[in-house]
Amino acid sequence: MPTDTTVPRSGSRVTPRAPDPRRPRPRYQRRPARTGQILPGLLLLAFGVFFVLPVLWLLLAATKTDTQLVQDNPLSFGSWHALRENWDALTGFQGDAVLLWLRNSTLYAFFALVITLIVGIPAGYALAMTEFRGRRVLLVTTLVVMLMPATTLVIPLFLEINAVHLIGSMWSVVLPYAFYPFGVYLTYIYFSTALPRDLLAAARIDGATEFGVFRRIALPLAVPVIALVGFFSFVANWTNYFLPYVMLPESNQYPVQVGLGLLLNNVPQFNPTAGTATVLRPELALATLLAISPVLIVFLFAQRFLIAGLLAGASKE
């Protein structure tokens, strides 16, 4: 087929040629599915089923009677009437003890959270932005304590709290809860990587004190990491079992996690020596839902700040 090799003169327009209708168009083939995309999807699906199914079973178990829980389909819905009966039986255990345990957990977690934020955020800022004698030793100590299992500190904490005669009081739980080295380390990482030092230096040049720089500039910019530290601290306080079990001798002082252990001891299927005040398995499932619902509610309301806090410091301009 002849080819036009005429070169157009400068300044002249070149009219594009129409496509030859006799030339077959190329066929676009679909790319085969990549194995590298299928395997992660299957893995995520497996993890989703593994974590979602127990929670779904727990939700449905609270709507059944004890007989239905054993004989019916595990993922079948019981009835609203059974849910009401389970609620009445649960709240009637030891005179509304479950509601008292929820109130105790809320008080312990709230006061410990307030003290954690008041102490931990300035401590992380001081470790990141100031130089003082013993700074490196203090930072290493914070890392070591953060990596230690919480149960290894129960006996030393018990001896310290007993020395100041606080055993059996609310502060025997609140004060150890308030010591949260992981929150100090998170704050230290955030201020070290995500906070522009030039902005702080400009504020100091303008005559701001170190506390003024922290309060007016660093603290407003640290809202994501404050939310992240607050959430982790609240979850750690709310789910702690061993420390309140050791520190609090009376059942009316228990948080809900220790209360769940007391309920479990009164389920005949788990403890054949249970007394007359027995608890059925659907009631225990309902109590478990009540125990985890505050953490879920806090997460739903704070997830925007949590995501921002997790990504803070990931990139530095």
Tens-place pLDDT, residues 248-260: 888 888 999 999 9
How many CB atoms lie under 10 A from the CB of residue 156? 10
Does some domain include residue 3? Answer: no
Token pair of 275 as six digits = 């007394």
pLDDT on residue 317? 46
pLDDT on residue 117? 92
pLDDT on residue 209? 82
Residue 74, classed as helix, strand or coil, is: coil
Judge whether 138 and 201 are in contact, CB under 8 Å.
no
pTM for the whole structure: 0.77
Going by C-beta distance under 8 Å and a sequence separation of 6 or more, which residues neighbour residue 59? 289
* pLDDT band of 43, cuts 50, 70, 90: confident
The secondary structure of residue 255, as a DSSP letter, is -
Mean pLDDT of 146-166: 86
Does some domain include residue 30? Answer: no
Going by C-beta distance under 8 Å and a sequence separation of 6 or more, which residues neighbour residue 117? 226, 229, 230, 233
Q: What is the count of structural domains for the chain?
A: 1
Does some domain include residue 76? Answer: no
Does some domain include residue 215? Answer: yes
Mean pLDDT of 87-111: 89
| Residue 79: pLDDT over 90 | no
Give φ, ψ of 132 to 5 degrees: -150, 165
The secondary structure of residue 150, as a DSSP letter, is G
Pick from 4-8, 59-63, 309-313: least confident: 4-8
Q: Over pLDDT 70: what percentage of the chain?
A: 83
Q: Quote the domain boundaries for residue 294.
A: 97-311
Token pair of 229 as six digits = 């530290």
Average pLDDT, the chain: 82
Does some domain include residue 173? Answer: yes
Does some domain include residue 258? Answer: yes
* Burial class for 85, CB neighbours closer than 10 Å (0-12, 13-18, 19+): middle
Q: Which CATH number does the domain housing residue 294 bear?
A: 1.10.3720.10
In 3D, which of 212, 199, 244 has the Cα closest to residue 101?
244
Tens-place pLDDT, residues 261-286: 888 888 887 877 766 668 888 988 99
